[in-house]
Amino acid sequence: MSTTQSERLRGLLEPLVSAKQLDLEEIEVSRAGRRRVLRIVVDSDEGVELDACAELSRAISEKLDETDAMGEDEYVLEVSSPGADRPLTEHRHYVRATGRLAKLQLHEGGELVARIIAVDDEGLDLEVPGVKGRKPTSRRVSFDGIAKARVEIEFNRKDKKEEEA
């Protein structure tokens, strides 16, 4: 049984990423003109700093040079974090987004923008902002009720460090 290139790369690179206490979120191989681009997205509960991405990029580059996982053609390696408006697809993504505003598309139809207050194995406890001076309301959404979810960017959101001070 053959495996895809992405699966082979995941098997090769996941131990390197895990050794840096990071989670391998995504591997994507695409074309950009004549070259291929290998994009690797990593994350952790504390986020990922630029230095960690650079260090991991060097380790991955060395590992790929030792193997034929990318073949003989030229490629560009990009190692990054998921970004501020990341999609929420795994349980750990929701846990990391606790306290953040998220946009949820529901299977029952409709959209919901709410702050994630708590996450458990079944779903989310949310705080839906009040409209026109009304108080926020609480809402529970199960994971099977969520079609898609994404963190919303907030420009005036207080950082957790500011709140603790």
Q: What is the CATH number of the domain that holds 135?
A: 2.30.30.100
Percent of the chain with pLDDT over 70: 93
CATH code of the domain containing 58? 3.30.300.70
Model pLDDT, residue 158: 55
Task: Give whole-number Cα distances, 143 to 5, 9, 82, 120, 128, in Å.
Answer: 30, 29, 21, 10, 17
The answer to whether residue 164 sits within a structural domain is no
61 and 107 housed in the same domain: no
What are the pLDDT digits (tens) for 91-100? 999 999 999 9
The answer to whether residue 16 sits within a structural domain is yes
Structure pTM?
0.72
Model pLDDT, residue 159: 53
Report residue 127: phi and psi, to 5°. Answer: -115, 115
28 and 74 housed in the same domain: yes
Question: Domain range spanning residue 70?
Answer: 5-80
Model pLDDT, residue 162: 45
Q: Band the pLDDT of 7: cuts 50, 70, 90.
A: confident
The answer to whether residue 165 sits within a structural domain is no
Report residue 6: phi and psi, to 5°. Answer: -60, -40
Model pLDDT, residue 38: 92
75 and 46 housed in the same domain: yes
21 and 74 housed in the same domain: yes
36 and 97 housed in the same domain: no
Model pLDDT, residue 41: 93
What are the pLDDT digits (tens) for 73-115? 788 999 998 887 788 999 999 999 999 999 999 999 899 999 9
- pLDDT reading at 8 higher than 90: no
Q: Band the pLDDT of 157: cuts 50, 70, 90.
A: low
95 and 76 housed in the same domain: no
69 and 109 housed in the same domain: no
Model pLDDT, residue 161: 44
What are the pLDDT digits (tens) for 36-73? 899 999 998 888 899 999 999 999 999 998 888 887 87
Overall number of domains in the chain: 2
Domain final residue pick, 26, 49, 80: 80
The answer to whether residue 86 sits within a structural domain is no
The answer to whether residue 161 sits within a structural domain is no
Model pLDDT, residue 155: 79
